[in-house]
Amino acid sequence: MPSPAVIIAAVLFGTIGLVSFNYGRKNICWGPMVIGLGLMVFPYFIAQTWLVYAVGAALCAGLYFWRD
C-alpha cells in the first residue's frame, strides 16, 4: 500500500500529465503528448516517495523547457 504522499503525487502529476496530453493531442504536438503520457503512467511503477517527486519534477521541467 503506497503512502499518502505517493498518492497525492500520483494525482498531482497525473493531472498535469492529462492536461499536457490533451494540449498535445489538440495541437498535434508530440512532445507534450509523450511527456504527458509519461507523467500519467510513471507513478504506477515507482514506490519510493522521493523518487516519485524527483521524476515528476524532472518531467515537468522537461515539459516547461520543451514548450513551443
Instruction: Report yes or no: 18 and 64 within 8 Å, Cβ to Cβ.
Output: no
- Residue 39's CB is within 10 A of a number of other CB atoms, namely 26
Q: Which residue has the cell 489538440?
A: 26
- If pLDDT is split at 50, 70 and 90, which confidence band does 68 have? low
**Is the model's pTM score more than 0.85?**
yes
* Average pLDDT score over the chain: 92
Q: Which three cell numbers stand for residue 27?
A: 495541437
